[in-house]
Structure 1
């Protein structure tokens, strides 16, 4: 089972859900807004993929952060994970969890490879 983390009304997340459904890959959506997300999970993602990949600096959620929070995000670690947990829309979407590997953003080629398609 693949877990797709994001927001249900995000176009890219909806596109990812449709892609996995069309390929017959069992999946579930974990919506940041309704299901929440804990800092420990985010810290693991930061360790695995890095802040450069995980943090969406182009969106309004990032622009609305304080300069101090933005500086903390640059440093990474538990403090950055806590900021992202409190502001999950700053996380680039979707984060797709294959169990042992995670991908960030829309990537059909990588998903097909990881799903064994």
Structure 2
């Protein structure tokens, strides 16, 4: 099985839990840090598979700090994707690219175990 890629920011609690769980399971994981490496071109693929609405984290601190105009500008796919590229912290985390080519958002140990065949 090839490595999976986990996308996020290292200080996010959910990303920390996912990384710790994957390490404990011995999974081969590549970590893509949005803060250091930016948002990958795969953002468009994530939006196509998962939906831009699910990717956009409207509960986070970064979203709440945005002015009303910036929030309103994220009301459609183009605006939301532009905001995610400019402010990676508004992307719900972690995003996982699984070896089978599929994607998921968030951390659910049962879902991770199922996808890893455990």
**Which interval holds the TM-score relative to the shorter structure?**
0.7 to 0.9
Give the Cα–Cα distance (whole angstroms) in 2 for the partners of residues 63 and 42 of structure 1.
22
Per-residue deviation, residues 59-85 of structure 1 (Å, max 9, x unmatched): 1211222333323322113x4212101
* CA distance in structure 1 between the aligned counterparts of 2:16 and 2:98, rounded to whole angstroms: 18
Distance 1:97 1:66 in 2: 31
Distance in 1, Cα, partners of 2:77 & 2:111: 25
Instruction: Specify the alignment match of 1:45 in structure 2.
Output: 46
- Check the 8 A contact 2:7/2:94 in 1, yes or no: yes
Give the equivalent residue in structure 2 for 1:14.
16
Alpha-carbon offset, residue 107 of structure 1: 1.3
CA distance in 1, matches of 2:52, 2:61: 17
3-state SS of the aligned residue for 2:45? helix
CA contact (8 A) 1:51 1:74 kept: no
Aligned residue number for residue 29 of structure 2: 27
Structure 1 residue ranges (4+ consecutive) displaced by more than 2 angstroms after TM superposition: 64-74
Which stretch of structure 1 is more off in the superposition, 16-25 or 43-52? Answer: 43-52
Which residue does the alignment assign to 2:58?
57
Question: For residue 70 of structure 1, what is the aligned residue in structure 2?
Answer: 71
Other structure's SS at 2:26 match: coil
Partner deviation per Cα, 1:33-78 (whole Å, 9 max, x = no partner): 011114x32122111111332111111211222333323322113x
Q: Is the contact made by 1:4 and 1:96 (CA closer than 8 Å) also made in structure 2?
A: yes
TM-score (normalised: structure 2): 0.87
Q: Secondary structure at the match of 1:113?
A: helix
Structure 2: gaps (5+ residues):
none
